[in-house]
Amino acid sequence: MAIRRIITKEDPTLHVVCREVTRFDDKLHELLDDMAETLYKAQGLGLAAPQIGIRRRIAVIDVQDGSGLIELINPVVVKTSGRQRDVEGCLSCPDQWGYVVRPNKAVVRAQNRDGEMMEYHFEELGARCALHEIDHLDGKLFLEKVDEFVDPAQEEEE
């Protein structure tokens, strides 16, 4: 396994629609392992392949709720419901935080590392994180959805 370099928002790879994964081989497994290691090293909740310069529809998330690491390959959001508004950040947008409105629940179908179709029922932080990462696969950053930016220094004083 290896730590990959996380690119930042200026990089064009973060602004393109990523391609589907078609080969569920050792190379994919190595990439997924590297993404997990990179995610944990960076202490993030989720990481999408374009954030390490790979234009493929792959994301890993772990929101520390006991579900462990979830690998999403070619994910599709099939249903959302409810509404939540909370602060988000992104490993590719260091030092930027802001409130984003998202659905409170999301049903996502995705393949696992062996190509099997799975269905996940995400809620609250899990839904927020999954939808944030899936946005990355379409070249979208959370910044465009922020309705109010937060100054981290001010937040700490409150």
Residues that bind Ni ion (CB under 5 A): 90
Shortest gap between Cβ of 135 and Ni ion (angstroms)? 8
CB within 8 Å of 19: residues ≥ 6 apart:
55, 56, 57
Shortest gap between Cβ of 53 and Ni ion (angstroms)? 14
CB closer to Ni ion, 115 vs 139: 139
The burial of 157, by beta-carbon neighbours within 10 Å (0-12 exposed, 13-18 middle, 19 or more buried), is given as exposed
Q: Which residue is nearest to Ni ion (CB)?
A: 90
Report the alpha-carbon distance of residue 2 to residue 152 in Å, rounded.
31
Query: Residues 99, 104, 119, 78: what is their CA dihedral angle, to the nearest 10 degrees?
Result: -90
Shortest gap between Cβ of 31 and Ni ion (angstroms)? 17
CB 84 within 8 A of CB 115: no
Shortest gap between Cβ of 50 and Ni ion (angstroms)? 9
Report the alpha-carbon distance of residue 77 to residue 94 in Å, rounded.
27
CB closer to Ni ion, 60 vs 90: 90
Report the alpha-carbon distance of residue 41 to residue 1 in Å, rounded.
12
CB closer to Ni ion, 109 vs 140: 140
Give the pair of three-digit tokens for residue 50. Answer: 């374009």
Catalytic option among 37, 119, 123, 133: 133
Any catalytic annotation for residue 158? no
CB closer to Ni ion, 73 vs 90: 90
Residues designated as active site: 133
